[in-house]
Structure 1
């Protein structure tokens, strides 16, 4: 059993901690070829403050509803959530509602969730149905959206020559993620995703499957929740327990056009905010507390002479992930096997890169409520090559006051998410109370937040993120 030596762990002065070149230095130590896409693509933005009204104003929320949500590609569900004919997910976004449904032909379609008679929603929750029948008067469509019947046909002769199939939204998929777009003229999803498919090309995403899906309503604007995962600088104060294995302020931040941005936080290394931590402690803590490694019990492992915790955990993950996917991962870098490589896709989708345990975040407004949102977290594993993709783990919808620690399927991630969520309602209250009416961002470490608002402004037709 590993027994950490007697240590005197201490907190470093915060003013100088952090090195944005640290990740590239770690890449230089890799013993396998390093993919070019892990190189730095640094942001080049200004330092203007953001107006708090971007988060607190209902008028701004309505502007997003009118100009952004109808035009942007949005992640709705994993394909394995609706594996069989008639399986469907109801997706509500501000005023709009969509039924994402698998048809008899295996295709996935998105129908506007509104009866063509008097507008009643056809489905109120996700599930399985053999047809789409309005609960009010009984107008009926099949699961591919084709009109079947109406009551009292003699009284609707004026509809005989009208098209009565259910109107659809654009539906396209990448790597098992099913997206919709309300704009019939929108660019194809794969073009919208830019570099993302190429960057994920080696990660066996064709074998990805949903191991966990947890959702909770959060008392904050959707952008506040989204941006909580855009930087790692908050680790020292919000997540001090993970600093023994997280290079928080050593993270690398990258942007790729308007839609895609990335943060890479080294793991298996000690935060530059701490001193006096030995490698045995780093090994024990990363296995027990990270929630993403292939093993959770550090006491079962001993560091060989001359091997770092980062090297040891990377090799441990390499063996376990290769076995789970039935794949050869001998060329995988330590970075891809253990680091927090988090991509964001505008407006509200984030996915961790790597070969296993990909965490996925989605944040959507809670209807027309500026001050509440729905936060989803998925965890993706892999199924072996040649085997059928298993059905997705069922959604665990937590109560508004339930902590993420009440979701055992996300393991050690639960306490970390709960630490994040405690800040968010207070951010909303603080922004509303702000005398200055502005928020100020770090030039580099919070560049993904600025990137998000600059892209949002382009959708909204505004001049800049002010």
Structure 2
């Protein structure tokens, strides 16, 4: 038995990132397939860092809510009566039923088991047939609050009360792409689906555009040139690269009426991978994103949304343009699903071995460094 077969997945990962980038290989198979490594990810990453619940404009009215799970913890995200977006536990303080499911609008949070009812701020409004219990004190009972901040239009949630605010941790994102002002873009679709691959395989697929000409030959592969892709060094909070687009996908370019964007600003597509799992494609015309959570080593739950910039939304042909963008992205997703599920099937092979990385896969190596920084060897 050789040394690498005796290492834990975490130790294998740390060994993987101990070399310079120009000697780097893809991550070890075990970090994708191991149940024990996933448990470490849930504890040290998903329960600690910020996750994206979507866009603030998707919750426009008081009582609008969505639900999510973070590291196994059921969470409600809603707009309260004061207009603020907040997050709280989605578990009743009585017999611990989950409360809300899916998305919708509600005047109050009512437990489906015994009808304990909570206000939109999480305080207990009423509980039937509790008057004879001398320990019951309604003012003392409320749904635990969870960190929630809106950052450039993104609703960010963390179970960690000490997590550094996104506005501080991600200031470099604003410095990089602030000229496009993500807060002014409007989400027009939001979907959720589950793919048969590891969450990191899908994240890495987003982080590199090396695969575009081949995996996406039927859609966007012809709109970019590998020689025009730039993969600079990222930061400890995110990695990024950009593509200078040609006119093959005109909606990715600045609107003709936009005079604020100049030169390459009008045609650069940014790919932002905000750790651990918010993946944003940002163009002058439209945006789309994925927010990932693991569902076992072999499946990933995907929140997929997108929309358009303010000037393209104001265009008389907005509805037609939106339909064009959505149809394109749906086709891109079909291609990505096929590619990433093939990768996971390959990872299960006994003969599979991680190979050396291209210079266009620098973000993947930095992602591995991020994982290693969070998970002890």
1:376 aligns with 2:277: no
Secondary structure at the residue paired with 2:251? coil
Indicate conservation of the 8 Å contact 1:194/1:260, yes or no: no
Q: Which residue of 2 aligns with 1:319?
A: 256
Change (3 A) 1:69 1:121: same
CA RMSD of aligned residues (A): 2.5
1:414 aligns with 2:371: no
Indicate conservation of the 8 Å contact 1:88/1:101, yes or no: yes
What is the TM-score when the length of structure 2 is the normalising length? 0.85
Shift, 1:455, TM fit: 0.8
Change (3 A) 1:118 1:218: same
1:341 aligns with 2:278: no
Shift, 1:249, TM fit: 4.8
Shift, 1:161, TM fit: 7.7
Shift, 1:163, TM fit: 2.4
Change (3 A) 1:49 1:222: closer
Q: Deviations over 1:185-235 (max 9, x none)?
A: 111111121301222322143321112323321111111111111112112
Indicate conservation of the 8 Å contact 1:45/1:447, yes or no: no
Q: Which residue of 2 aligns with 1:224?
A: 201
**How far apart, CA to CA, are the structure 2 residues paired with 1:267 and 1:384?**
19
Shift, 1:447, TM fit: 1.6
Q: Which has the higher contact order (CA 8 A, sep 6+)?
A: 1
Q: Which residue of 2 aligns with 1:355?
A: 284
Q: Deviations over 1:235-292 (max 9, x none)?
A: 2332234454311354111233211111112222xxxxxxxxxxxxxx5xx1xxx4xx
**How far apart, CA to CA, are the structure 1 residues paired with 2:160 and 2:336?**
34
1:141-180 equivalent positions in 2, closer than 5 A: 141-160=118-137, 163-180=140-157
Q: Deviations over 1:390-441 (max 9, x none)?
A: xxx9xxxxxxxxxxxxx976122322221121122221111111335x4224
Larger fraction in helix: 2
Indicate conservation of the 8 Å contact 1:86/1:131, yes or no: yes
Q: Which residue of 1 aligns with 2:369?
A: 454
Indicate conservation of the 8 Å contact 2:278/2:290, yes or no: yes
Indicate conservation of the 8 Å contact 2:62/2:81, yes or no: yes
**How far apart, CA to CA, are the structure 1 residues paired with 2:263 and 2:270?**
12
Q: Deviations over 1:284-324 (max 9, x none)?
A: xx1xxx4xx239xxxxxxxxxxxxxxxxxx5xx3415x2xx
Change (3 A) 1:443 1:194: farther
Q: Which residue of 1 aligns with 2:244?
A: 266
Indicate conservation of the 8 Å contact 2:52/2:156, yes or no: yes
Q: Which residue of 2 aligns with 1:279?
A: none
The correspondence for 2:293, drawn from 357, 364, 387, is: 364
State how many pairs are aligned.
349
Q: Which residue of 1 aligns with 2:251?
A: 294
Indicate conservation of the 8 Å contact 2:109/2:117, yes or no: yes
1:69 aligns with 2:46: yes
Change (3 A) 1:356 1:243: closer
The correspondence for 1:209, drawn from 183, 186, 190, is: 186
Secondary structure at the residue paired with 2:298? strand
Change (3 A) 1:161 1:209: closer
1:93-104 equivalent positions in 2, closer than 5 A: 93-104=70-81
Secondary structure at the residue paired with 1:451? helix
1:99-138 equivalent positions in 2, closer than 5 A: 99-138=76-115
**How far apart, CA to CA, are the structure 2 residues paired with 1:249 and 1:156?**
72
Instruction: Give the structure with higher Rg (CA).
Output: 1
Q: Deviations over 1:135-179 (max 9, x none)?
A: 101111101111111122224321328721110110111111110
Secondary structure at the residue paired with 2:233? strand
**How far apart, CA to CA, are the structure 2 residues paired with 1:344 and 1:417?**
17
Which stretch shifts more, 438-447 or 78-87? Answer: 438-447
**How far apart, CA to CA, are the structure 2 residues paired with 1:434 and 1:236?**
29
Secondary structure at the residue paired with 1:121? coil
